[in-house]
Amino acid sequence: MTQVNDMATPSITGLHTDRQRLWTALMDLAQLGATPKGGVNRQAMTELDRQARDVFIDWCRAEGCTIRIDAIGNIFARRPGQNPERPAVMTGSHIDTQPTGGKYDGCFGVLAGLEVIRTLNQHDIQTRAPIEVVVWTNEEGCRFPPCMMGSGVFAGQLKLEEMLGKTDGEGVTAGDALEAIGYRGDDVVGTDDIGAYFEAHIEQGPILEDTGTTIGVVIGALGQKWFDLTLTGVEAHAGPTPMPLRKDAMMGAAEVTQAINRIANARQPHGRGTVGSMKLHPGSRNVIPGEVAMSIDLRHLDPEALDEMVAELGSAVEEISTRHGLVAELTPTADFAPESFDPHCVRAVRNAAQQLNCAHMDIVSGAGHDAIFLGRVAPAAMIFVPCENGISHNEIENATPEDLHSGCNVLLHAMLEFAQVIDAEQE
């Protein structure tokens, strides 16, 4: 009778992935869409995206993986387990980038998963459950909004036909773009086929680097509520119009911005409030702005706290607009609930970091990730590694080979805790 271990056995306690092999794969993939400043421009469903997908599939087939592609273009590469009926232990991320993206955002999670498979093959390690690496379609959402499109459709959070109908700036639909690159698949992959999902990622923030910590054990992700706010006053000549008689939309926008920061600062450590874009009309040097259109981004880990932030925002907008004689239109544009990751998956990440003697800390993701949608249909957790100065979505995005290797090793052992290694000596 075969004996299966629930935890990593002594025979694999010291097992490590290959640092140079992981780094080489990252650098090779980064050549597809490489920019002069050292970054990557490989937007979703473009010819460069096709080339990167083809390379990933070639690498996975060389490791004996079977490949499936679903209707939104997600790619699933599976290494078989001893029990094909057992739900797979899955990992992955995305390989599409921002127009001025970096080498590591998303790509690290995909290639760390591939390196896990390569390591298991190299050492002839068998698992009871299958191991699966996935490339999620259009995580960035910069060409075809919204972000996290592939994982959202997979998890039933976004509607397939609606997403296929989304258009880019040239009027091309996502469905047509997938057809054009040959990645509109027909496979139906059920979410009941996931035993656990782990996603390795650069932090995209400064906390790990600031604290000298190698591994972030991600316990959850901030909820997000986005709004568009339009404040309408009266444009008038900047010289003849006295200050008390103005209906200055920009003054209202400035006070709303201050209120947003006050609301977020009152709810630390997890409160976030950002005005990311602002457009003034008519935008003339000597004309009082008659209209300001601005974006608002509120985030928090606690759903009740996030609702309180939204309520305070509404009250602040009403009070400020009334006082300045403005008309306000506040429109919700996105709503992502906070996500608390599965305690067992989080513990597996923490166990792996401890086993490998990696400095680690619990951390919360402030950004959106595919793991957030996966966490709604399967046990899930994330692994963060530092990125230089916390900079991401930027061509100068950087991470060290050593930190990436540590994160990949933690991913390996966390996955093996769920996939269950078969000890051949005890068969």
Give the CATH number of the domain where residue 368 resides: 3.40.630.10
Report the b/e string of 67-85 with b at 16+ CB within 10 A.
ebbbbbbbbbbbbbbeeee
pLDDT of residue 1: 27
Q: What tokens appear for 277 in the block?
A: 């874009």
pLDDT recorded at residue 302: 94
What integer pLDDT is reported at residue 9 of this predicted model? 43
pLDDT at 347 over 50: yes
Cβ proximity of 356 and 339 under 8 Å: no
Average pLDDT over residues 384-399: 96
Cβ(127)–Cβ(416) below 8 Å:
yes
pLDDT of residue 417: 97
| Residue 268 pLDDT > 50 | yes
Strand 360-365 relative to strand 215-221: parallel, antiparallel, unpaired? parallel
The Cα-based distances of 108 to 91, 162, 340, 344 in angstroms read 11, 29, 23, 23
**Residue 5: inside a domain:** no
Return all residues near 311 (Cβ < 8 A) that are at least 6 apart.
Answer: none
Q: Mean per-residue pLDDT for 214-222? A: 96
46-74: pLDDT as tens digits: 999 999 999 999 999 999 999 999 999 99
Asked whether the beta carbons of 100 and 394 are under 8 A apart, the reply is yes
Same-domain check for residues 191 and 324: no
Q: Strand locations in 70-117, DSSP E?
A: 75-79, 88-93
Please tell me whether residues 207 and 130 are part of one structural domain. Answer: yes
Task: Looking at the structure, tell me whether residues 345 and 373 fall in a common domain.
Answer: yes
- Indicate whether 116 belongs to any domain: yes
CATH number for position 252: 3.30.70.360
Last residue of a domain, one of 271, 301, 336: 336
Whether 238 is covered by a domain: the verdict is: yes
Same domain, 262 and 385: no
- For the segment 163-177, what is each residue's pLDDT rounded down to a tens digit? 999 999 999 999 999
Same domain, 272 and 196: no
Q: Return the minimum-mean-pLDDT range out of 1-15, 280-294, 298-312.
A: 1-15
Pair 322, 371 in one domain: no
Please say if the pLDDT value at position 10 is more than 50: no
Average pLDDT value over all residues in the chain = 94
Check pLDDT > 80 for residue 427: no
**19 and 122 inside one domain:** yes
213 and 230 co-located in one domain: no
pLDDT of 193: 86
Do residues 372 and 330 both lie within one domain? no
Residues 115 and 206 in one domain: yes
Residue 1 belongs to a domain: no
Give the integer Cα–Cα distance in Å for 423 and 415: 16
Q: What is the pLDDT of residue 197?
A: 98
Of 3-17, 43-57, 199-213, minimum mean pLDDT range: 3-17
DSSP secondary-structure letter at 266? T
- Residue 143's Cβ-side half-sphere holds a number of Cα atoms within 13 Å equal to 25
* Same domain, yes or no: 328 and 354: no
Q: Which of 340, 369, 301, 372 is nearest to 220 (CA)?
A: 340
Average pLDDT for residues 294-306, to the nearest whole number?
96
For 75-118, the pLDDT digits (tens) are 999 999 999 999 999 999 999 999 999 999 999 999 999 999 99
pLDDT value of residue 394: 93
Separation CA 95–CA 103 (nearest Å): 9
pLDDT band for position 424 (50/70/90)? low
Answer whether 369's CB lies under 8 Å from 221's CB: yes
Q: How many folded domains does the chain comprise?
A: 2
On the question of pLDDT at 319 being above 60, the answer is: yes
Token pair in block for residue 119 = 């390591």
Per-residue pLDDT, 6? 42
Domain assignment present for residue 204? The answer is yes
Q: Which domain holds residue 124?
A: 10-221+338-426
**Is the model's pLDDT at 189 over the cut of 90?**
no
Residue 251 near residue 324 (C-beta atoms within 8 A): yes
Whole-number pLDDT of residue 336: 84
